[in-house]
A and B are shown apart, each in its own frame.
Chain A
Amino acid sequence: MDSYDASESTPRQSTSSRPEDYFIGATFLQKRLESVRKQTSFVPTPPRRKIPHCSLLQEDVDLQKVAFLLHKQWTLYSLTPLYKFSYSNLKEYSRLLNAFIVAEKQKGLAVEVGEDFNIKVIFSTLLGIKGTQRDPEAFLVQGLTLLPKLECSGTILVYCNLLGSSDPSTLAFQVAGTTGACHYSWILSKSQLPSENRESKVLWTGWFCCIFGDSLLETVSEDFTCLPLFLANGTESNTAIIGTWFQKTFDCYFSPLAINAFNLSWMAAMWTACKMDHYVATTEFLWSVPCSPQSLDISYAIHPEDAKALWDSVHKTPGEVTQEEVDLFMDCLYSHFHRHFKIHLSATRLVRVSTSVASAHTDGKIKILCHKYLIGVLAYLTELAIFQIE
């Protein structure tokens, strides 16, 4: 978010009507308005946080269903609350979005090099991806390819009754060059190949979720659905088209969520603190040194068990992570590096953190590797998204 402050912070011209008109009681937003009126800035970062725990995920979610969420690189966006969104109209939304995509592609605005394929969009809910019962259900939008229609000068030959093979999906390609030994009948039809037997390839996936979004849920009225975190995997142009449709239909706003170095170091500490049975990846940090003419990248890889041992020696309070512990953990890594290489890593910018639980890049890209801590990772990201919306 743009946190540029001039030398004395100018009072933000927020709503001039009284806060009592909007809600009853002192809620988060009212406290915020008070602090704005006092011409100060509200600092929402708590100095301590809970370590993500895995309890909620195992109760509700089937592992197979969320397996497709893991090991994929997601780009993060924060999303303002959706107006008049309802879970029962998902089919309707699919239909509308399909029509919109077709219209956009025909307009020629999204120029894609490659074959001209159609995307079919499906909406579905993801059960169990939520922090508390109050959180709205997560839902998923998938863009699948439709197979290209076989059209050749008006007539299409599709089916042959070849001896033996009854699988219609293999018939079409065996037509040319068949000998007269088999019966076949020409069918004039323009139908597509039957696609039930084939799996359409998933081209684009996006999902919306909200984990522990209590601070946001309190402030919005009934018509709004709060799903502040949006994760997308797929081409940028598809994301842009689908984003535009959502913005037009539900009066919301997407903005890319960048993760700054401060939050990355928190993530590193929290993910190192997670107890894992076996480590699939080394703990790795990437720093970018801003020097001219081109920037230098420093990559620091640690054996995950060593990182966990370091964290255990730093960590005092069970179940919670404090700012001092995070700073101490990072300072230990910096001083170790300085002792060997005489480079002050604290003067550089942390760009990427990857552990066995998940990996995050400062541009807002994330990859989750461990299903046990999925909710925990999403909870922190939701918090960042909510912070950005406000």
Chain B
Amino acid sequence: MSVLRPLDKLPSLNTATILLVGIEDALLQQLADSMLKEDCASELKVHLAKSLPLPSSVNRPRIDLIVFVINLHSKYSLQNTEESLRHVDASFFLGKVCFLATGAGRESHCSIHRHTVVKLAHTYQSPLLYCDLEVEAFRATMAQRLVRMLQVCAGHVPGVSALNLLSLLRSSEGPSLEDM
């Protein structure tokens, strides 16, 4: 199957699965480790991928949240993300996709303007998070945040759904996007 769909598999009991997509293996691995260290009521599964489409030979559970990790230092990661976005079904974008921009701390190394990433997130109507994944403390905080988001997207938090969360996150961004 070349396109990821959110509801084509049955959910497993008390399990939440997140898919991290990005070209930087080391960073993704570290983020995954931080996430698994968090204590969480549901069982967490973290899948890592360099790009989509995922190989169909592997038997994997239903994916609850996709996080695209874009490294602001390299244009290649942005191109990779844009390529991968084509293989995600439109219904995923109702709160189950999120963009994570890393590397904004070192301004002199950035080759992508933040504007570009903000526009990308706006086009896909998904939240954009910033985190310097190379720094331990920020990574731990971001892992905590992603775990909470994952729980909401998997439906493990009563009363809040992924779409709810999306509209909550969107309202805090404000009307700056009209300036673009």
Q: Which of A296-348 contact B (CB under 8 A)?
A: 330, 334, 344, 346-348
Tell whether, in the assembled complex, residue B76 and residue A4 are in contact, meaning their CB atoms are under 8 Å apart.
Answer: no
CB of A274 within 8 Å of the partner chain: no
The answer on a CB contact under 8 Å between A2 and B114 is no
Q: Which residues of chain B come closer than 8 Å to A347, judged between CB atoms?
A: 23, 74-77
The interface residues of chain B lying within 8 Å CB-to-CB of A334 are 75
Residues in chain B near residue A152, CB distance under 8 A: none
Given contacts A7-B145, A346-B76, A346-B79, contact A260 B176 (CB under 8 A): no
Considering only residues 73-88 of chain B, those with a C-beta below 8 Å from chain A are 73-77, 79
Identify B129's interface contact among A3, A7, A43, A45, CB under 8 A.
Answer: A7
Residues of B within 8 A of A8 (CB): 172
Q: Does B150 belong to the interface (CB within 8 Å)?
A: no
CA A12 to CA B40, docked complex, whole Å: 33
A40 at the interface (CB under 8 A from B): yes
B63-81 contact mask (Cβ, 8 Å, vs A): 1 or 0: 0000000000111110100
Asked if B130 is at the interface (CB within 8 A of a chain A CB), the reply is yes
A41 to B112: give the CA distance in the assembly, Å: 16
Query: Smallest CB–CB gap between A45 and chain B, Å?
Result: 6
* B13 contacts A by Cβ under 8 Å: no
Question: By the criterion of a CB under 8 Å from any partner CB, how many residues of chain A are at the interface?
Answer: 30
Rounded to whole angstroms, the CA-CA distance of A39 and B109 in the bound complex is 25
Shortest C-beta distance, A241 to chain B (Å), equals 26
Bitwise interface map of B from 158 to 173 toward A, beta carbon under 8 Å scored 1, else 0: 0000000000000011
- 1/0 per position for A242-265, CB-CB distance to B under 8 A? 000000000000000011111001
Q: Are A4 and B175 in contact, with the CB atoms below 8 A?
A: no
B interface vs A, CB < 8 Å?
Answer: 23, 73-77, 79, 104-105, 107-115, 118, 129-132, 138, 141-142, 145, 172-176, 179-180
Chain A interface residues (CB < 8 Å from chain B)? 1-8, 35, 38-41, 43, 45, 258-262, 265, 330, 334, 344, 346-350, 362
11 additional contacts (CB under 8 A) given A43-B179, A349-B111, A350-B111: A2-B105, A3-B114, A35-B176, A38-B175, A39-B174, A40-B176, A260-B108, A260-B109, A265-B111, A346-B111, A347-B76
The list of the 10 closest CB pairs from A to B, nearest first, reads A261-B111, A347-B76, A40-B176, A346-B75, A258-B108, A346-B76, A5-B130, A4-B105, A347-B74, A344-B76
